[in-house]
Structure 1
Amino acid sequence: MTPFETVDHDRLRSGHGVKWGSLPRDVLGAWVADMDFGVPPAVRASVVDLAEREDFGYPFWRGQDPVVTAFEERMADRHGWSPIPDRTRVFTDLIQVLQVVIEHTTAPGDGIALHVPTYPPFLASIARSGRRIVPLPMRWTPSGWDFSTDALADRLQGCKLLVLVNPHNPTGRVFTRAELAPLADVAEELDLVVLADEIHADLAHAPHRHVPFAALAPHRTVTATSATKAFNIAGLRCAVAHVGPDRTWDALSRAPLDYFGTPSTVSRVATVAAWRDAQPWLDELSKVLRHNRSTVERWASELPWDLRHHAPEASYLSWFDFADTPLRDVTRLEREARVKLSEGAEFASFTDVDTSTFARLNFATSPSTLAEILDRIGGALT
């Protein structure tokens, strides 16, 4: 039996994770983007070794931070992009990276463009910083989700920053080089910094391949990523940002010494183990995610209603539109299906894009748990 065939709901509910711990015992969690599985053996061994040595002092490394080295190696080996040397910083998470980049590339009132729907904390961070959200709406088509590049430069006038979530959350699109090229062109034309959130890159499903945006626009791109999504260690809080734009790097270099905080030794050791030693685990995980993705796709296609669902090209997240079903009000799902999904309205907050009839489902769980989740949702729809 593989570690992905079953999950222990009691273990999940008894810990500190919000995905299950915050829910009533009769509600199944399929919302926040944590997986129900454990962690790679290499990651567990690295953390256990650290604990057994009681090695919890102030962090120290001889030479370059091992997280940075592991990041540079993985980008080159897995994604065919070689980061600029000595231009990477370690952060706690991508939300911190976004907030730091906002403060150092924009001023209150400036526009920040991004595809909508998108990761809700990004929208909240932009709005709370006093910047103006300029949505690039994602479009549903019979063949998949896309976005318009018509009059892109006109639409982005007044913007100083473009936030690119690729692979895209929540639709699961892996943008192609042809789709990314107009964004690189407009960034050059309008002198934009591009923050590329590529945290789901290692979860692309074949034949789709992630294209790092920095490969198209190296001196305009801040690449933000982490091992947390692919290797299930979100709570450890460790991320990296590779800073291509000179003016942004210079601004960050002038910041106070402790401005960025210091991610823990535990988070760094786990991240290095994930990126360097846990690929066999990720390969096995990917098989389960592809199986579950097919299960969700088949379930959606067999319903008597069109959920406007496209199987995600990356990640373990499915995006559904319940507009043409009896459960158009997705806020009823938890109450009537006893399943918690992420409500769609959150993914377009502070914009005029309407995603209120959508919901996002997390299928990174055992096949049997996923079957029960889908059965409950199907029952609530009838």
Structure 2
Amino acid sequence: MLDDIDIPTLSARPGIKWAQADGAIPAWIADMDFPIPDPVRDVIVEAARTDLGYPAWEADPRDNPLVGAYVARTARLYGHTPDPAGVRLFTEVIQALQAILYVATEAGDTVAVHTPSYPPFLETIERMGRRLLPIPMVDGRTFDADRMDVDLRHHRCRILILVNPQNPTGRVFTRSELTTIAELAERHHMIVIADEIHADLTYAPHRFLPFAPFAPDRTVTLTSASKAFNLAGLRCAVADVAAPTVRRALDMLPPLLLGQPGSLGLLGTLAAWEHGDPWLAEVLALLERNRRMLMAALPGRLHEPEGTYLSWLDLRDLGPDPAARIRDEARVLLSPGPQFGPGGEGFARLNFATSRPVMEEILSRLTKFISEQTITN
């Protein structure tokens, strides 16, 4: 059933991805087109049928079952056992990032990010009055460690936001790269905020490695079931605050100042992490298929994504912002590359988390458009 969804069915959805498509096929925002896992749907329906009152664990946050589920799942999948005492719950990864920046930095402090990067992170840095230090992804594949070392020292950087798997390039950082980042964090006394929300979406033979074991005293890990299980609207995220200084700073705030996820978000996330793996395995097989289709249809336009369901298309021969032309002329909605900061000009991000019929139509429109431009030029 996951692979049978067609465009008319999807066009009736009220969510932002399809509601704002304006007749185009949306392949922009990081939502999947697949229906949510049955265990998630079942637990939400049951909660709505029986009890939406205050949850039992609210009396003592240490009793929250999501904390134990996160710890157990991280240990089982990635061989790292987080300290339950450091786990804090937020409504989403962006909110958690803003909370960490709020307690760990001040206006004017420098925050480093591998670029191109996720636009809401760049906007957060700007809106909070912090200074962006771009760490360029060389050819979309890696970073220059020596240059990074010099830049961090010159700018007295306080925070590095590490997005792994990387958005938008789909890179999964290697053990060697993570070791280098940990060494740089220690050398420059930095906190690393590791956004690992796409960790479950890693393709063999690549292997996702959590960053916390590389520099536990300097790491805050952010994650959620929202990407791997298509649950963004439930608003539930985890911050694994291993860094003691950040943990103490957060605990000095009034307990509800930063809000908290609701019962349905917690229940849905719990169901996904404990019972959603069969669904995820099926989705990963479809994403792997779509990834191969994309590589075959657009050779030379992208590096093979190692993780995520996002691809970073090189369309520089079509102008500085090709996504606008593709939207207007090919009627496919992509994320414009310039939104992703330095290094984004001439690129566009494509979301390939959809069914075969939709993927085939997207690729048909894109290849036709690119071919026509090539002939014209």
TM-score (norm 1): 0.93
- Aligned counterparts of 1:230 and 1:329: Cα–Cα separation in 2: 28
Name the one with the larger helix percent: 2
- Aligned counterparts of 1:85 and 1:270: Cα–Cα separation in 2: 20
| One of 309, 317, 320 as aligned partner of 1:316 | 309
| One of 198, 206, 209 as aligned partner of 1:208 | 206
Residue aligning to 2:375: none
CA drift of 1:153 comes to 2.9
CA drift of 1:11 comes to 4.1
Deviations 1:235-269 (A, max 9, x none): 11100001011111001001012112121100000
Residue aligning to 1:186: 184
Residue aligning to 1:84: 83
CA drift of 1:191 comes to 1.1
CA drift of 1:325 comes to 4.5
Q: Which amino acid aligns with 1:159?
A: C
| One of 282, 285, 308 as aligned partner of 1:284 | 282
Residue aligning to 2:298: 300
Number of matched pairs: 366
- Aligned counterparts of 1:42 and 1:145: Cα–Cα separation in 2: 37
Name the SS for the 2:227 alignment partner: helix
- Aligned counterparts of 1:326 and 1:276: Cα–Cα separation in 2: 46
- Aligned counterparts of 1:286 and 1:256: Cα–Cα separation in 2: 41
Residue aligning to 1:138: 137
Structure 2 residue 334 is matched with structure 1 residue 334: no
Residue aligning to 2:195: 197
Deviations 1:159-196 (A, max 9, x none): 11110000000000000010111110111111111000
- Aligned counterparts of 1:108 and 1:325: Cα–Cα separation in 2: 38
Q: Which amino acid aligns with 1:29?
A: P
Alignment of 1:87-126 (within 5 A): 87-126=86-125
Deviations 1:258-303 (A, max 9, x none): 11212110000000000010101111111100000000000012xx
Q: Which amino acid aligns with 1:9?
A: I
Structure 2 residue 44 is matched with structure 1 residue 57: no
- Aligned counterparts of 1:10 and 1:50: Cα–Cα separation in 2: 31
- Aligned counterparts of 2:254 and 2:197: Cα–Cα separation in 1: 27
CA drift of 1:311 comes to 1.3
CA drift of 1:64 comes to 2.1
Seen in structure 2, the aligned counterparts of structure 1 residues 170 and 115 have a Cα distance that, compared at 3 Å, is same
Deviations 1:16-68 (A, max 9, x none): 311001122x3101110000010111111111111111x21123327521111
Seen in structure 2, the aligned counterparts of structure 1 residues 246 and 291 have a Cα distance that, compared at 3 Å, is same
- Aligned counterparts of 1:240 and 1:376: Cα–Cα separation in 2: 39
Alignment of 1:1-382 (within 5 A): 3-24=1-22, 26-53=23-50, 55-61=51-57, 63-140=62-139, 145-157=141-153, 158-301=156-299, 306-307=300-301, 309-325=302-318, 329-348=322-341, 353-381=342-370, 382=372
Deviations 1:310-363 (A, max 9, x none): 110011111111113589733211000001000100000xxxx24121001111
- Aligned counterparts of 1:358 and 1:138: Cα–Cα separation in 2: 14
CA drift of 1:15 comes to 3.2
CA drift of 1:137 comes to 0.4
Name the SS for the 2:272 alignment partner: helix
Gaps of 5+ in 1: none
- Aligned counterparts of 2:294 and 2:339: Cα–Cα separation in 1: 22
Task: Tell me if the contact between 1:115 and 1:136 (Cα under 8 Å) persists in the aligned partners.
Answer: yes
- Aligned counterparts of 1:246 and 1:318: Cα–Cα separation in 2: 36
CA drift of 1:110 comes to 0.8
Task: Tell me if the contact between 1:327 and 1:380 (Cα under 8 Å) persists in the aligned partners.
Answer: no
Gaps of 5+ in 2: 373-377
Task: Tell me if the contact between 2:313 and 2:348 (Cα under 8 Å) persists in the aligned partners.
Answer: yes
Task: Tell me if the contact between 2:311 and 2:350 (Cα under 8 Å) persists in the aligned partners.
Answer: yes
Task: Tell me if the contact between 1:59 and 1:264 (Cα under 8 Å) persists in the aligned partners.
Answer: no
- Aligned counterparts of 1:203 and 1:80: Cα–Cα separation in 2: 17
Q: Which amino acid aligns with 2:315?
A: F
- Aligned counterparts of 1:261 and 1:295: Cα–Cα separation in 2: 42
- Aligned counterparts of 2:276 and 2:240: Cα–Cα separation in 1: 22
Name the SS for the 2:205 alignment partner: coil
Q: Which amino acid aligns with 2:53?
A: G
CA RMSD of aligned residues (A): 1.4
- Aligned counterparts of 2:193 and 2:157: Cα–Cα separation in 1: 13
- Aligned counterparts of 2:269 and 2:351: Cα–Cα separation in 1: 23
Task: Tell me if the contact between 2:298 and 2:367 (Cα under 8 Å) persists in the aligned partners.
Answer: no
Deviations 1:355-375 (A, max 9, x none): 121001111101111010111
TM-score (norm 2): 0.94
Overall identity of the aligned pairs, in %: 45
Name the SS for the 2:193 alignment partner: strand
- Aligned counterparts of 1:12 and 1:57: Cα–Cα separation in 2: 33
- Aligned counterparts of 2:251 and 2:312: Cα–Cα separation in 1: 39
